[in-house]
Structure 1
Amino acid sequence: MFFLRMIFRSFSRQFKRRLLIAVTVCLSATVSVAMLGVVFDVGDKLNAELSTYGSNIIVQPKADAVVNDLYNTGGDADSSASGTSESDPTTFLKESDVPKIKTIFWAFNITNFAPELNIHADVNCASESAASADSSSCKASGVPIVGTWFAKTLHMDSGESTVAGMNGMRSWWKLDGSWPKDDSAQGLIGTTLASKLGVAKGDTVTLYKTTADGSRNKQQIAITGIYDSGDSDNNAMYIPSFTAQVLADLPDSIDEIEVKALTTPDNDLARKASKNPNALTQDEWETWYCTAYPSSIAYQIEEVIPGSVAKQVRQVAALQGDVLQKTQAVMVLMTVLSLVAAAIAVANLMAASIGERGSELALLKAIGATDGAVSRLMLAETAVISLVGAIVGALLGSCVAQIVGHVVFGSGITMRPMVFVLVFVLLTLTVLIASFSSIRSILGLKPAEVLHGR
């Protein structure tokens, strides 16, 4: 009880000095909690933010993947649709296998996916009766047609359901109109192609396709919207996959699957596994397989989609890793600098406090207080006022983290209990280190000299 009274009396005698220590610790705690809170949550936020710019995993038939590797023709998620390839695919995956993607170990990290059947067809925007008339300005040959899902609801064997399709894969598109329905003969047309054909929202176009057996199929498509992708994809049309399969006489066939997944940035283990998973040891294999690396998710997709090769889109994956690492490094650096500044400030304030209270401390030692007792008194005083500052700083830091989350990512930051524990441990070590020089000066204090003014 006497010990506690001495502690609280010191606050009244040196209120301004103690308040400065509390404010210093409070500011350091605020910065540390805010920055570390964002650091521990920034991975998911950045992945979610960057994933809006397209898929980060592409699934293709093995034969196509081999050709792409040999001739360096793959790697772009939009290459087929944009007309980079002028020929139709010759090898396919089964559209009925696509839902299996949601059965892999990291199924909950798969946020969206969409199959594609990339073909080419002739487009005629004139009516059927005028098809033979001179309407060359309303015709186009070899137009890239992408058969895909837009917002298809899938019912899984587990009883769960999910929605997949281009509606969530092309969030950067500027769309004038509405998304087509997957069970209807509707479609989207790019701005460049629409301008060339003179097609507007609500018009109907006719697609003509010569199949492998030489027959000439046609399909009328109602245009529900005109999109602007900002690239050469504006020369294409997007229609439901079933409609494209009927047009090309390729039932249950697709040639590519775009997958959007929340992933962990690559490290040395992931890069080693991406070259040859069989080269991993058993422990390395388990760590890699059970971590959401792009390469491990791609490997698991290959396991459930027969005859497929899944590869990460290097540009997107690398961007996610680089941005995440740099952002985390900046925030950790700010945390370290705030702790260093707090240590210097607390050390100076404690040194000044001991200088002012030299006579009091000397008197305590003169009447029998040991060096340990005096040191514990000073540490207890500093600990109590630092604890108050840390609690207030933790609350303010949580608020600052939410502000950062809403300003930068448009959503709140999930504050993990580990953040508060880590900050309190770091602040404890900071205060102890800052108090070390002051404690040494107390141990060297000689009562006789101090009390006699020498």
Structure 2
Amino acid sequence: MFWRLVFRALRLRMQRVSVVFAALMVGAAIVTAMSAVYFDINAKMSQELRTFGANFYIGPARGNSIPQSTFQPIIDNAPAGLINASSPYLYGMARTELEKVVLMGVWFESLRQLAPYWQVTGNWIGVSFDDRNAMIGVKLAERLNVKVGDSITLVGDGGKQRLQIKGIVESGDATDNMLIVNLELAQKWLDKEGAISNALLSVSNDLGQVDRFAAQLQQQYPQLEIRPILKVSASEGQVLNKIKGLMGLVSAVILVLSSLCVNTTLMAIVGERAREFALQKALGASGRDIIRQMLAETGIIALAAVLCGSLLGYLLAQVLGMAVFNATISLRLPVFPLTLVLSLLVAAVAAVVPTRRAIYVEPAKVLKGE
């Protein structure tokens, strides 16, 4: 009998029930979309900000170089998945057949991830052991009148080394004046076997790992200068916090508006059903019975709204993901429980005043038409 009353009440007032349903569905959709993006944004934003390049520096605390054997264990012993890319760098002066140049030795295979902002004419070099090809800074290339496909010959006491130019780099910094070669070749040519000037890393920072990793390494290697590159790592944290705060604010505003809409509509429904509640109380229904009925009706609407809103919110999250990150948003485990709890809470809060009004209906006055 109880459930017949509940479903009959919903069926007879379908227009107002639809308003409550729509308000709760919109709230659930926004919460689902925002929470899905919120829980997935760390990974997406960290990946997006990798386009800034390296965010971690390792160099000598004193002197001009460090042993490569000191750097290598840092990479080998780092937690899995923490370091996205890394490369030692070695700088020095070398002679060519045309003039002296600054030589920069690197691991070529990591260079594209560490400096994705470089504008390269020609091709990147994809393997670190390539000692027959080189890349050259755009200003040095102009000075030497060198183009992609041309050759440069290094000249030293030990002989000559011919290098074919695979790519011309425009970086906007000192690299524009350098000749970029394989690290082992630079070490050999500069007579600095096993030495590096510094190293740059791209470290995942979706959970603030950069600062912790730097502090941990600094304790282990006091002879090194180890620090985040603040331009990148600080940007990650600041952007993430601002976006998360904005999403939380949007969700809160939408939920408040949904609650007000539901409250207003339920008040109107209670006003229309005053005679019904008065008759129930006259026939022996208690205030608790009316509370159960109101909560059951509101709960059914809320559950249906959460189901539809969650599906709509998931689609909205994908639209946001493609628009902002050009990638889909993964639906994390906490999203649906959070949407369900918040939607039911909004519905319950919105139903408090209308329910109080329903249980305080005075049967004698209402049934007399007063």
TM-score by length of 1: 0.77
The structural deviation recorded for 1:300 is: 3.8
Gaps of 5+ in 1: 65-88, 125-138, 152-164, 210-214, 266-291
Matched, 1:98 2:72: yes
Amino acid at match of 1:35: M
Contact in 1 for aligned 2:137/2:175 (Cα 8 Å): yes
- Check 1:436–1:44 CA distance in 2 against 1; reply closer, same or farther (3 A cut): same
Tell me the distance in 1 between the aligned counterparts of 2:221 and 2:323.
40
Amino acid at match of 1:308: L
The structural deviation recorded for 1:395 is: 0.9
- Check 1:449–1:250 CA distance in 2 against 1; reply closer, same or farther (3 A cut): same
- Check 1:330–1:15 CA distance in 2 against 1; reply closer, same or farther (3 A cut): same
CA offset digits 1:300-356 (Å, max 9, x no partner): 445676943311111212111111110110001011011101110110010010011
- Check 1:218–1:303 CA distance in 2 against 1; reply closer, same or farther (3 A cut): farther
Aligned to 1:261: 203
- Match of 2:328, SS state, is coil
Aligned to 2:180: 238
Aligned to 1:200: 147
Which moved further from structure 2: 389-398 or 184-193?
184-193
Query: Alignment identity in percent?
Result: 30
Output the aligned Cα RMSD: 1.9
Aligned to 2:134: 187
Aligned to 1:159: none
CA offset digits 1:174-213 (Å, max 9, x no partner): 222222232222111112211121101111102346xxxx
Matched, 1:50 2:49: yes
Tell me the distance in 1 between the aligned counterparts of 2:102 and 2:274.
86
The structural deviation recorded for 1:263 is: 1.5
Matched, 1:415 2:362: no
Matching residue within 307, 327, 330 for 2:243: 327
Contact in 1 for aligned 2:87/2:199 (Cα 8 Å): yes
Matching residue within 350, 353, 363 for 1:437: 353
Tell me the distance in 2 between the aligned counterparts of 1:438 and 1:194.
78
CA offset digits 1:416-445 (Å, max 9, x no partner): 121111121111111111111111111221
Which residues in structure 2 correspond to 1:151-300 (within 5 Å)? 151=109, 165-180=110-125, 181-183=127-129, 184-208=131-155, 215=157, 218-264=160-206, 292-300=208-216
Tell me the distance in 2 between the aligned counterparts of 1:332 and 1:46.
17
Amino acid at match of 2:209: Y
Residues paired across the two proteins, number: 368
Contact in 1 for aligned 2:43/2:206 (Cα 8 Å): no
Tell me the distance in 1 between the aligned counterparts of 2:73 and 2:120.
27
Matched, 1:149 2:148: no
Contact in 1 for aligned 2:55/2:203 (Cα 8 Å): yes
Aligned to 2:274: 358
The structural deviation recorded for 1:234 is: 1.5
Matching residue within 318, 326, 332 for 2:234: 318
Which moved further from structure 2: 34-43 or 345-354?
34-43
Contact in 2 for aligned 1:101/1:107 (Cα 8 Å): no
- Check 1:12–1:244 CA distance in 2 against 1; reply closer, same or farther (3 A cut): same
Aligned to 1:25: 24
CA offset digits 1:205-245 (Å, max 9, x no partner): 02346xxxxx5764322111112223342222211000101
- Check 1:222–1:391 CA distance in 2 against 1; reply closer, same or farther (3 A cut): same
Aligned to 1:155: none
The structural deviation recorded for 1:299 is: 3.4
The structural deviation recorded for 1:377 is: 0.5
